[in-house]
Amino acid sequence: MTDSNRTQQTAADQRVYKRAFELADTLCAQADNVPVKWRRVLWEKTLDVAMDLLARIVYAYDEKAPKTRLAHLDRALSQFTVLNTYISLCNRHQVLPLQKQTNIAELMTDISQQLGGWRKATARMITSV
């Protein structure tokens, strides 16, 4: 991997972290607006998974060994799938206002694309060695 490619990849890694952080921050900011009946059953789990996703992204970013980074990214993608499921349930039960649902959906789409691209780039790095 050339220095130029490494710089581009690092910038992409930072973008996915920033978007995941923005998602977690958005979800945390909505905690007081969640109906009481959904707070324990669904919302706390949603926040937990969002924080776990953020941690997995940090672990992957900090990891230098490509194979271990790939393992962290695979776990992050699994966490993302769980989070997406919880967010879908929140939307179905109208836990959040429509405008927040739209903002969260945009963040989720962006994170999905960036995380998938990062995983593919990491897998290519492993196979090219």
Residue-wise pLDDT tens digits, 67-120: 999 999 999 999 999 999 999 999 999 999 999 999 999 999 999 999 999 999
Helices (H), 1-129: 3-29, 36-38, 44-62, 66-92, 98-128
Domains present along the chain, CATH in parentheses: 3-128 (1.20.1440.60)
Nearest Cα neighbor of 117 from 18, 7, 4, 13 is: 13
What number of other Cβ atoms are within 10 A of residue 85's Cβ?
A: 12
Backbone conformation region of residue 97, classed left if phi is above 0, alpha if psi is from -120 to 50, else beta = beta
**pLDDT band for position 14 (50/70/90)?**
confident
Report the predicted TM-score, pTM, of the whole model to 2 decimal places: 0.88
Share of the chain above pLDDT 70, in %: 91
**What span, in angstroms and rounded, lies between the C-alpha atoms of 105 and 121?**
24
